[in-house]
């Protein structure tokens, strides 16, 4: 599909059902091959919250760049991690601090099953540090208009079709650096 016409649709669109709400992704947030000034390890993921981009390093000084949504000020994960778990249609359970910041999340304190209405979207890559789940994720979203903005509770959000693509490209153990 021509990337100019790439549509981020509701998760229902991934299931070949008609889109409930279509959203045309701004050109600069679409996946694209880019050249990098600095050298990184092939296969590594680099996230730049300040520019709202995630880079999957594909060759020396080359990457696929995806537009992302990131955490509100003070809520971003920073540092290195590895992908310790990958889940299709993940369930979601807000953390106690998320519920404290947004009491409406309390209705999901016991968790929400994965599916089209789940805020983690179609796929999730769980970030681990020293073998421990950080509670931060790279995941899809039910809010495609949040891509390119700093609005999440700290996770890295992607358009569902984009996270499905990334999920297929990276194995468990992939190194992730969030700047």
- Tell me the catalytic residues: 139, 155
Look up tokens 């297929």; give the residue.
168
Q: Tell me the two tokens of residue 134.
A: 């950080």
Pairing mode, strands 150-152 and 175-178: unpaired
Q: Indicate the Cα dihedral angle 18, 23, 24, 25, nearest 10°.
A: -120
First-last CA distance in the chain: 31
- Give, in order, the Cα–Cα distances in Å from 85 to each of 3, 27, 121, 142, 173: 29, 30, 15, 21, 8
Residues 6 or more apart whose Cβ sits within 8 Å of residue 128:
81, 82, 83, 84, 85, 134
């Amino acid at each position: 599909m021509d990337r100019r016409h790439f549509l981020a649709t509701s998760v229902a669109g991934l299931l070949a059902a008609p889109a409930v709400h279509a959203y045309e992704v701004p050109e600069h947030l679409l996946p694209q091959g880019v050249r990098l000034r600095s050298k990184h390890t092939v296969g590594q993921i680099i996230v730049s919250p300040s520019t709202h981009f995630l880079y999957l390093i594909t060759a020396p000084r080359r990457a696929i760049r995806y537009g992302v949504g990131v955490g509100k000020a003070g809520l971003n994960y920073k540092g290195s991690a590895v992908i310790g778990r990958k889940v299709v249609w993940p369930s979601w359970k807000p953390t106690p601090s998320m519920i404290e910041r947004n009491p409406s999340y309390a209705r999901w304190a016991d968790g929400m099953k994965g599916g089209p209405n789940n805020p983690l979207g179609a796929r999730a890559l769980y970030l681990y540090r020293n073998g421990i789940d950080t509670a931060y994720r790279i995941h899809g979203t039910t809010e495609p208009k949040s891509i390119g903005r700093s609005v999440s509770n700290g996770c890295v959000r992607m358009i569902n079709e984009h996270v499905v693509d990334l999920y297929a490209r990276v194995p468990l153990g992939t190194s992730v650096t969030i700047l």
